[in-house]
Amino acid sequence: MAGYVSAHRQGSATLPRRRLTEPALVRWTLIGIALAFLALFLAVPLVMVFSEAFAKGVDAYWAALEDPDALSAIRLTLFVAAIAVPSNLIFGISAGWAIAKFRFPGRNLLITLIDLPFAVSPVISGLVFVLLFGRRGWFGPWLFDHDIKIVFAVPGIVLATIFVSFPFIAREIIPVMEASGTEEEEAARVLGASGLQTFFRVTLPNIKWGLLYGVILCNARAMGEFGAVSVVSGHVRGRTNTMPLHVEILYNEYNFQAAFAVASVLALLALVTLVAKAVIERRLARSLAAHDETAAPESA
Amino acid sequence: MSKSNRVLPGFRITMAFTLLYLGLIVIVPLTTLPVESITMGWTAFHRTLTDPRVVASYKLSLGASFVAAIVNGVFGVLVAWVLVRYPFPGRRVIDALIDLPFALPTAVAGITLTTLYAPNGWLGAPLARHGLKVSFTPLGVTVALIFIGLPFVVRTLQPVIEELDLQVEEAATSLGANRWHITTRIILPYLYPAWITGFALSFARAVGEYGSVVFISGNMPMRTEIAPLLIITKLLQYDYAGATTIAFGLLVISFVLLLAINGLQHWTGRRLAH
Amino acid sequence: MTFRSSLRVAALAALATAGLASAAQAQTLLNVSYDPTRELYEAVNTAFIKDYAAKTGKTVKIEQSHGGSGGQARAVIDGLDADVVTLALAYDIDAIAKSGLIDPAWQRRLPDNSSPYTSTIVFLVRNGNPKGIKDWNDLIKPGVSVITPNPKTSGGARWAYLAAWEYGKRAGGGKDAAGKDFVAKLYKNVPVLDSGARGSTTTFVQRGIGDVLLSWENEAFLALAETPGKFQIVVPSVSILAEPPVAVVDKNVDHHNTRAIAEAYLKFLYTPEAQEIIAKNHYRPRDPKVLAKYASALPKLTLFTIDDAFGGWQKAQAAHFADGGSFDQIYVPSGR
């Protein structure tokens, strides 16, 4: 299901000739309706985040970001993403290799299970970790005796974040690995390359854009998660508040402008994600096309 | 791809790691829900799930998600069609912007939509003058769910529209069919499987949504209380069994939807392949 | 981007990445509190850190966590390692005690039922009081929109609910049915139920929803100070004496070796210095001298206690806020 965000080959379709399209009036009416809908649901909210963030001027904006609690929230968010994204990256590559390069029974079920965190309500993603590691959870008493903190501390936040951002990299890599086939790797092996050499010299160059694409999606989800993290955080200021949670706290403190200031940083992050996504999409389409061209004569 | 690939190494180790990681991060945590629900016993389980307030929250979560998915279904076709077929200035920017609801943290979406649609907000004020309340009503919940589900229909339809064979349209035109006929008889039936998939994705995503809805919903029992919020509310009242049961119900719904979607994608893939 | 702001971006990035593990060496105390006490404990903590350093020469760091009272208690039960809890009502601390983290006799360990201050529920209305709200019975009139949080999750909302019930009961000749009828009518006028007191204040103050907010007294004063000239406080004829209690979380402090500081912290709340801070934040201090000094700032009204009117929190909770209790019956009349 997470595969929905799969890169599409943007603009690769040739535009139809004149007689195969609607009259200009119909065309522009449809464009108008589509743009009005998108403006109402996408552009206006985006503009409002920044307008509210700067409602009290630039200095108030910076003051909100330089607040120690805001800084610690930014730090925690970066820290959590710095663990969650590489973990899911390793998993994604491993799952991609096993699923895309080999056939085995239960393959479709495995893919569905990888998708599961995407469909599960974020609240549930947090709840299950409380049920496991909370003081009254399955492992709670043992953890308490050994003085190990998981929920209401950073490890719990990391776990919940890994859970919600789990499918993205794997689901991006699988189709790209499938598309590049196994012939090149097999050739490398026959020529005497080791397994790791094959992976780094042959596979990785083929999947690098898909990989990067998955990393960006995974990172966006990891930094922005609210529901799951909210359940396991404990909301200790300066210690277990991530940026989205800090936004909520400020919002509840009559501090709208500051809430939107921190929110604007997250919105900026979202915009950077979109730009990176668009750029990579184009590279990905190009590299796949190039691969098709070089692959075609070989297989013939 | 060969059926048993003996040349390539690493199947065992990558498979083992994949299953281990999947098990530790996803499967073990999620099994807490059925296990905890079973330990509370059937009568308590049944009573929680048939509690009028719980039923109302499921109805709202499913109902609002359905309406939102329909809205996204209608406008999604339109947006996807316009973005693929019609050249206009700024098309690439708009195309990139479609994924905003996916990239924007839900909490940011929540406070933004609430501020926007509150009776004194940019959009809420003019609507309120016409007697239409959005924030803190089921309508507000639906608006938030439209926002978060928006990319799904567009993104599933775009590649399919790109693949549409222009020769078929051309042939139909030369046989005398007008655009209306071509649209209703050829194009829409062709898009149908992908549309259903996009609709189901949008719906599934909305059913469990929390962050963007919780600010705008108003949390009224029986009226604007969504199921994920009721889980949190139960949790805040030390009612773990109740929270777990509602969560389990929601998990089953998500899983069924997921299976349906993967089945649908299979179908779409076959339709595209021929 | 100007040079100055790009400099600030750089500085911000440096600050954000520098020292992820900048854990101070000082002993740390975690105070898990309810929603409206953010400003209070910010001031109290500064004063206590100074006082403690002067008396013992030790530095201490105090961390805060705020949220709806019930949810905070739940987090502590599930393992949030609070050293002290300062919640909205005794029932929530009792719940923690029931899980074995706090001595069941906690309420007798500190003076005044372990409540270093009291507060009450008042009405906040829009300036000029356009709906002419004077007392509880004005709230059930048709067309009056009342904002209050969800009693299931908010401590303040439970106090407000019980105050309304008792008013209705007294007006109806002391019958429970009259109380029930009154709150049912009252909640018919409630369009939004936020999960905590702060959420409700935001809904009322910032969103402009509702004619009257059932508010903690201190929240009402804070709203006046934040947005001067837009609201006014209406004091009802009777209300409830809210006693927000505090307790050391025994098992956690023994685990962290922080009992001495935790106890010193809670005792500090009873000192004249802290009582001054309490009064300045519009809570009602226990210290008679401080109370006398600030008497003019605190509106006079008849206050009843939960013990007198409802026989204590355990009974009140079971009758009204447990699943199927009187609050649920408002929304699902059939009940269970």
* Identity of the amino acid at C237: S
CB contact under 8 A, C192 and B136: yes
Count CB-CB contacts under 10 A for residue C57: 7
Q: Which residues contact C13 (CB under 8 A, 6 or more apart)?
A: none
Phi then psi for C85, rounded to 5 degrees?
A: -115, 135
CB contact under 8 A, B219 and C74: no
Q: CA-nearest residue of chain B to A138?
A: B32
Probe site for chain C from B54, B115, B127, B237 (most C CB atoms < 10 A): B237
Distance from CA of C151 to the nearest CA of B (A): 10
Q: Which residues contact B105 (CB under 8 A, 6 or more apart)?
A: A223, A224, A225, A226, A243, A244, A247, A263, A266, A270, B211
CB contact under 8 A, C64 and A254: no
Establish if B209 touches chain A: CB-CB under 8 angstroms.
yes
Count CB-CB contacts under 10 A for residue C232: 14
Kindly list the domain boundaries of chain B, sorted by start residue: 50-273
Contact residues, chain A, for C81 at CB < 8 Å:
149, 152-153
Q: CA-nearest residue of chain B to A23?
A: B179
Classify residue A16 by its DSSP letter.
P
Phi then psi for A130, rounded to 5 degrees?
A: -65, -40
Establish if A156 touches chain B: CB-CB under 8 angstroms.
no
Chain B with chain C: Cβ pairs closer than 8 A: 72
The pLDDT assigned to A294 comes to 58
Q: CA-nearest residue of chain B to A222?
A: B105
Closest CA to A71 of C91, C310, C22, C147: C22
Probe site for chain B from A22, A99, A101, A120 (most B CB atoms < 10 A): A120
Which of the residue ranges A29-38, B156-165, B247-256, C26-35 would you say has the lowest mean pLDDT?
B156-165
Establish if C257 touches chain A: CB-CB under 8 angstroms.
no
Phi then psi for C213, rounded to 5 degrees?
A: -110, 125
Establish if A123 touches chain B: CB-CB under 8 angstroms.
yes
User: For all residues of chain B together, what is the average pLDDT?
Assistant: 85
Contact residues, chain B, for C321 at CB < 8 Å:
237
Contact residues, chain C, for A79 at CB < 8 Å:
20
Architecture of domain B50-273: Orthogonal Bundle (1.10)
Establish if B38 touches chain A: CB-CB under 8 angstroms.
no
Predicted confidence pLDDT, tens digits, chain A (300 residues) = 445 544 444 444 455 555 556 778 888 899 999 999 999 989 999 999 999 999 888 999 999 999 999 999 999 999 999 999 999 999 999 999 999 888 889 888 898 899 888 888 888 999 999 999 988 888 988 888 888 889 999 999 999 999 999 999 998 888 888 888 888 888 888 888 888 888 888 888 888 888 888 999 899 999 999 989 988 988 888 888 999 999 988 887 778 899 999 999 999 999 999 999 888 888 877 777 776 665 544 443
Probe site for chain C from A254, A256, A264 (most C CB atoms < 10 A): A254
pLDDT over 50 at C146, yes or no: yes
The pLDDT assigned to B271 comes to 59
Contact residues, chain A, for C45 at CB < 8 Å:
none
Establish if B76 touches chain A: CB-CB under 8 angstroms.
no
ipTM: 0.84
Cα B18 to Cα A95: distance, rounded to the nearest angstrom:
5
CB contact under 8 A, A119 and B11: no
pLDDT in tens, C111-135: 999 999 999 999 999 999 999 999 9
pLDDT in tens, C33-90: 998 898 899 999 999 999 999 999 999 999 999 888 888 898 898 889 899 999 999 9
Contact residues, chain C, for B231 at CB < 8 Å:
none
Chain A with chain C: Cβ pairs closer than 8 A: 78
H helix runs in B86-175, sequence order: 91-97, 100-103, 106-117, 124-129, 138-163, 166-174
Phi then psi for C324, rounded to 5 degrees?
A: 85, 0
Cα A94 to Cα B70: distance, rounded to the nearest angstrom:
38
The C-alpha torsion from C285 through C291 and C294 to C300, rounded to 10°, is: 90
Global pTM reads 0.85
- Residue C5 structure tokens: 């702001």
* Identity of the amino acid at B152: F
Give the mean model confidence (pLDDT) for residues B28-47: 86
Cα A241 to Cα C71: distance, rounded to the nearest angstrom:
16
Q: List subunits contacting chain C, requiring 3 or more Cβ pairs under 8 Å.
A: A, B
Closest CA to A259 of B215, C315, B133: B215
